[in-house]
Structure 1
Amino acid sequence: MSTSPGRERCAADEAATEHPEITYIGCARCGTLIAGLDGRYACSGCGWVNEWTEGYRPLPGDRGRGA
């Protein structure tokens, strides 16, 4: 007997539909309080942007794209 892939599929579906978290931080350059999604920030005051790899979870992939 093999295990059903249903449980793994449910976990993957939940992760894919999870909403991004709004996070706040003081801008590293000018100190302005800025909001971002999942730890990715861009300051509209001075133009500072943090590296995308500093986010709290991976960016969505290219699911559904045909090859």
Structure 2
Amino acid sequence: MAATPERERRDPAGGPEEHPEITYIGCARCGTLIAGLDGRYACSGCGWVNEWTEGHRPLPTARVT
């Protein structure tokens, strides 16, 4: 049974977080429930990966030392 892709955000305080947030979605290809960080997902069942720009916030920048 394929599930429709539906994002679920877990933010009980409603405010921004400084650490990555674990989010869940139904895979767009096979419907498997998968977890990701900040809205970026990869399904281990079928190999589907969402576009990195679909995340909930910008990726951190690299630190130059």
Q: Which runs of 5+ in 2 are unaligned?
A: 1-15
SS of 1:24's equivalent in the other structure is strand
Q: Which runs of 5+ in 1 are unaligned?
A: 1-14
Dislocated runs of 4+, deviation >2 Å: none
- Normalising by structure 1, report the TM-score: 0.69
- Normalising by structure 2, report the TM-score: 0.71
Q: Determine the C-alpha separation between the residues in 1 that align with 2:38 and 2:61.
A: 15
Q: Determine the C-alpha separation between the residues in 1 that align with 2:18 and 2:45.
A: 30
Q: Percent identity?
A: 86
SS of 1:23's equivalent in the other structure is strand
Query: More helix by proportion, 1 or 2?
Result: 1
Q: Determine the C-alpha separation between the residues in 2 that align with 1:62 and 1:27.
A: 29
Q: Determine the C-alpha separation between the residues in 2 that align with 1:62 and 1:43.
A: 26
The two structures, once aligned, show a CA RMSD in angstroms of 1.6
Give the aligned length. Answer: 50
Alpha-carbon distance, 1:62 to partner? 1.2
**Which residue matches 1:4?**
none
Structure possessing the higher radius of gyration over alpha carbons: 1
